């Protein structure tokens, strides 16, 4: 957010807009592709909410789209203005499967197989939560009031989505960390861990740091800390998540 504010200030804008965030994400193709897909879904949802009938849809196609795809159209126009190789615009026509997100969804699906009806209902309800539904609280959490240049509505949508994705990734990695911490019976390699692995659970002090539910199946603070540490670790053949 601070980087987006700096970019917005450099171009002389009064607010942080979507183009500032898109510019920051231009080198991370996978995350940018996810964001573009999200913006497309938001536009599609807006169509449904407004109750566009078939005649309007036909007229919209003939007129070239109008304002129906305003988020996607804005993103496409901006990326076109900074794209010198064609790589960014190619993402609008790229149907490549997001392997990371696909694996995350598959792991979540496997988790649901051992849930009862009450647990599954809670799981589904939790997955529907988002930062955008509590926009005012999210804005307060970002401390936007103390900023000279504040994000506009579309920028807040993007920030809420990025926050949601960050939490999803942290939880997913924390589940993998928790899985790694469990010694598997009959698997001699489960005792052999990387030299960079921090054993948070091997001392009374670290157990207390994990919280009062250190022996439960819930994700603990130590799992989150280890997930963040691994995420920032240098990528290579022996990296924690490879």
pLDDT, tens only, 35-64 = 888 888 888 887 777 665 554 554 554 444
- CB atoms closer than 10 angstroms to residue 220: 24
| Distance of alpha carbon 186 from alpha carbon 190, whole angstroms | 9
> 193 — phi, psi (to 5°)?
-120, 165
Nearest to 197 by CA among 217, 177, 214: 177
Relative orientation angle of helices 221-231 and 153-181, to the nearest 10 degrees: 110
Q: Which tokens go with 230?
A: 């691994």
CA 57 to each of CA 67, 68, 70, 93, 115: distance values in angstroms, whole numbers, following the listed order = 12, 9, 15, 21, 42
pLDDT at 189: 52
pLDDT at 187: 56
> Tokens 């989505």 label which residue?
161
| Vertex 218 angle, CA 214 and 224, to 5° | 80
pLDDT digits (tens, 9 = 90+) for 142-193: 888 888 899 998 899 999 999 998 988 888 888 888 888 776 655 555 554 5
pLDDT at 205: 47
Check whether 204 has a pLDDT greater than 50: no
pLDDT digits (tens, 9 = 90+) for 88-107: 878 777 777 778 888 888 88
- CB atoms closer than 10 angstroms to residue 47: 14
pLDDT interval class at 206 (50, 70, 90):
very low
């Amino acid at each position: 957010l601070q980087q987006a504010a700096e970019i917005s200030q450099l171009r002389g804008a009064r607010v942080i807009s979507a183009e500032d965030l898109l510019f920051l994400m231009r080198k991370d193709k996978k995350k940018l592709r996810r964001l573009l897909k999200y913006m497309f879904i938001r536009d599609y949802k807006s169509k449904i909410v407004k109750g566009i009938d078939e005649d309007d849809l036909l007229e919209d196609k003939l007129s070239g789209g109008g304002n129906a795809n305003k988020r996607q159209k804005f993103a496409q126009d901006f990326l076109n203005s900074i794209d010198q190789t064609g790589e960014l615009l190619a993402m609008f026509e790229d149907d490549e499967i997001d392997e990371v997100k696909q694996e995350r969804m598959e792991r979540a699906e496997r988790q649901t197989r051992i849930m009862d009806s009450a647990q599954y209902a809670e799981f589904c309800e939790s997955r529907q939560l988002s930062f955008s539904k509590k926009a005012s609280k999210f804005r307060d959490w970002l401390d936007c009031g103390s900023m000279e240049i504040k994000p506009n509505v579309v920028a807040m949508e993007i920030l809420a989505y990025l926050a949601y994705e960050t939490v999803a990734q942290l939880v997913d990695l924390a589940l993998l960390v928790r899985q790694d911490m469990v010694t598997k019976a009959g698997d001699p390699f489960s005792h052999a861990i990387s030299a960079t692995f921090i054993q948070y659970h091997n001392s009374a002090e670290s157990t207390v740091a994990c919280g009062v539910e250190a022996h439960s199946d819930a994700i603990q603070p130590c799992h989150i800390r280890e997930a963040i540490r691994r995420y920032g670790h240098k990528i290579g053949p022996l990296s924690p998540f490879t």
